Amino acid sequence: METSRNSKIVIIGGGTGLSVLLRGLKQYPLDITAIVTVADDGGSSGRLRDELKIPPPGDIRNVLAALSDVEPLVEELFQHRFNKGNSLTGHSLGNLILAAMTNITGDFTHAIREMSKVLNVRGRVLPAANRSVFLHAEMDDGSVVSGESKIPYSGKRIKRVFLTPQKIEPLPETLEAIREAELIILGPGSLYTSILPNLLVPKIGKEVCKSKAKKVYICNVMTQAGETLNYTATDHIKALYDHMDCAFINTVLVNKETIPDSIKERYEEELAEPVTCDPEELEALGLEVVHEQIVSYDNNVIRHDTNKVARLLYSILQDQS
């Protein structure tokens, strides 16, 4: 049975991985809702967050651009980052526009909605909360590191991450999208700083656990120093389960393509290595393992191949129709 245009999917994450995936998925007849983290506190987003007291716009900007259907020059303009000017250096124009729209409308979510119209976005983009949240990490030695941008550089192993303030309300439409979804996709993206900050918004995590939709986790291709050093695919899953206190994933998508030595050497400088797929351990957790060649290379940077991953996800959706 062919998937209808009304098939509803929810993608949860942040960072580059989410926007890469969405560029492929928007080519299919899908009703897409992207739920995006608002825990970023670095770079242009962090500066705007601190100075204007608004949620960080950077991850939202990237997702809007990825789902947009406008002339390439318009998208390039939206993504343009200034490299001159004392106050402008480092800011992207899209971040500034979202900040201005938030000031005009008085509401971050309303600003995203209006920018979605301007950019002819295919789908909905929703912040995990309509306010900034702060990410903290408790380390194995009991110390706590505060700030999404600081956590990967602590030099310590993460035990758990958590949010403040304690009371964070998601948007009603976010919860509704999760309840109506036929497929929920987690990742790709940084495990502790892009994916978990969404799930840790209390009602979002609970709704994902309760949802009857098929849930797919797209495992990162490489480990990340300061977050997932030496993690296997199973370690990623267990970290998600430990934080949510429930086993909620049905399928895990893992790369099986051999990474060229030249690329591995480049990543060794960052203490990163290919994530080991341990299918027996994954299957012991009751997971369906999709082990495919799903990577592409952009200037010696490893990315998920947006077209291959989107095609796999679409076939998963069709198989359950």
Q: What are phi and psi of 12, to 5 degrees?
A: -120, 125
Residue 144 lies in a domain: no
Secondary structure of 50-97 in the HEC alphabet?
HHHCCCCCHHHHHHHHHHCCCCHHHHHHHHCECCCCCCCCCCEHHHHH
Residue 290 lies in a domain: yes
Examine the domain organization and report whether 86 and 204 are in the same domain.
no
pLDDT digits (tens, 9 = 90+) for 65-116: 999 999 999 999 999 999 887 788 999 999 999 999 999 999 999 999 999 9
Of 102, 127, 152, the residue that ends a domain is 127
| Type of residue numbered 195 | I
Report the Cα 231 to chain-centroid distance in Å: 19
Examine the domain organization and report whether 115 and 218 are in the same domain.
no
H/E run at residue 303: strand 301-304
| Type of residue numbered 173 | E
Examine the domain organization and report whether 302 and 175 are in the same domain.
yes
Give the number of other Cβ atoms within 10 Å of residue 47's Cβ. Answer: 17
User: What percent of the chain has a predicted confidence (pLDDT) above 70?
Assistant: 98
321 confidence band (pLDDT: 50, 70, 90): low
Examine the domain organization and report whether 101 and 59 are in the same domain.
yes
Examine the domain organization and report whether 15 and 102 are in the same domain.
no
pLDDT digits (tens, 9 = 90+) for 201-256: 989 999 999 999 999 999 999 999 999 999 999 999 999 999 999 999 999 999 99
Examine the domain organization and report whether 185 and 304 are in the same domain.
yes
Q: What is the pTM of this model?
A: 0.95
Examine the domain organization and report whether 58 and 30 are in the same domain.
no
Q: How many domains does the chain have?
A: 2
Q: b/e for 199-224, b at 16 or more Cβ within 10 A? A: bbbebbbebbeebebbbbbbbbbbbb
Examine the domain organization and report whether 30 and 45 are in the same domain.
no
| Type of residue numbered 164 | T
The C-alpha atoms of residue 93 and residue 96 are separated, in whole angstroms, by 5
Q: Which domain holds residue 58?
A: 41-127
